[in-house]
Amino acid sequence: MIKLIAIDLDGTLLNSDKKIPEENIKAIQKAAQAGVKIVLCTGRPKSGILPYFEKLGLTDEEYIIMNNGCTIYNTRNWELVSYAQVSNDELDKLNHAISEYPDVCLTLTGEKHYYAVGNEVPELVQYDAGLVFDTAIAASLEEMKATSEVIFQAMYMARAPQLDPFQEAKEEALAKEFSVVRSQEYIFEAMPKGYTKATALKALSEKLGFSPSEVMALGDAANDLEMLEFADHSVAMGNATDEVKAICRYETTTNDQAGVAQAIYDYVLK
């Protein structure tokens, strides 16, 4: 019996217009009313999640895994249940990696702000900040190291022609000290070592007393792979990558066809 549903946002819960199909909202509400825990599980920061969570209209305490597993919040009082932190030494290493790549911007997600390391915020970074209903702030590395704000994760941003060679050259070295993933064409992420959506989902499931056999997870992209491997009931979206589809137990319709709702009706409320 499925007791927890972990749902990715972009490409999964959200359609191509970055909206939640009404069918998804109704199915999620029915699952919650049946006692199933709903866990949004995303690479987005808090600012990029709150408006969507509010649209779901859920009244019981739920949980949200943010920043690709670096943070877990409950939705009763928005308490930060657990988090990972990028240290000052790690900031140095992350920044050093782009010393020969001036077109790649190091961005940092903090508890309160979205930062671009440097003198100005590149247009691409500000565009991405807008997608999560935020505004990026330019800050020097020295300013970042001096702040008391907790920094959860880092993202390298650039257009694919600039980001591809950076990733090819630096991924192996960065992966020794960070959890890395190419989450989007223009984003290569670096989280504190050992933190992914899967580690957060595992910790939360154990906290709530659920085994992997009682967990369903839905996703579409590379940063969902470990989470999908953890859940016994793994569901690939119809628009998922071939890599995601290859490891999943089930496949549903696309994000533009309310695939989340279809999966809930097929496997949870059947």
Question: Based on the domain organization, do 203 and 72 belong to the same domain?
Answer: yes
Give the pLDDT confidence score for residue 108 in this predicted structure.
97
Between 76 and 264, the more confident residue is 264
Question: Based on the domain organization, do 165 and 248 belong to the same domain?
Answer: no
Give the pLDDT confidence score for residue 270 in this predicted structure.
81
144, 160, 192 — which closes off a domain?
192
Question: Based on the domain organization, do 73 and 206 belong to the same domain?
Answer: yes
Q: What is the pLDDT of residues 77-101, one digit of tens each?
A: 899 999 999 999 999 999 999 999 9
Question: Based on the domain organization, do 79 and 101 belong to the same domain?
Answer: no
Question: Based on the domain organization, do 19 and 104 belong to the same domain?
Answer: no
159, 192, 225 — which closes off a domain?
192
Q: What is the pLDDT of residues 92-139, one digit of tens each?
A: 999 999 999 999 999 999 999 999 999 999 999 999 999 999 999 999
In the chain, how many domains are there? 2
Q: What are phi and psi of 116, to 5 degrees?
A: -115, 120
Question: Based on the domain organization, do 234 and 245 belong to the same domain?
Answer: yes
Q: What is the pLDDT of residues 229-252, one digit of tens each?
A: 999 999 999 999 999 999 999 999
Give the pLDDT confidence score for residue 244 in this predicted structure.
98
Length of the chain: 270
Q: How confident is the model at residue 19 (pLDDT cuts 50, 70, 90)?
A: very high
Question: Based on the domain organization, do 188 and 208 belong to the same domain?
Answer: no
177, 192, 207 — which closes off a domain?
192
Give the pLDDT confidence score for residue 22 in this predicted structure.
98
Q: Is the pLDDT of residue 146 over 90?
A: yes
Question: Based on the domain organization, do 155 and 180 belong to the same domain?
Answer: yes
Q: pTM for this one?
A: 0.93
Contact of 61 with 74, CB cutoff 8 Å: yes
Write the CATH number for 205: 3.40.50.1000
Structure tokens at 189: 């992420």
Write the CATH number for 98: 3.30.1240.10
Coil, strand, or helix at residue 149? Answer: coil
Which residues form the domain of 173?
88-192
Q: Is the pLDDT of residue 44 over 90?
A: yes
Looking at 14-96, list the stretches that DSSP marks H as alpha helix, in order from N- to C-terminal side. Answer: 22-33, 50-56, 88-96
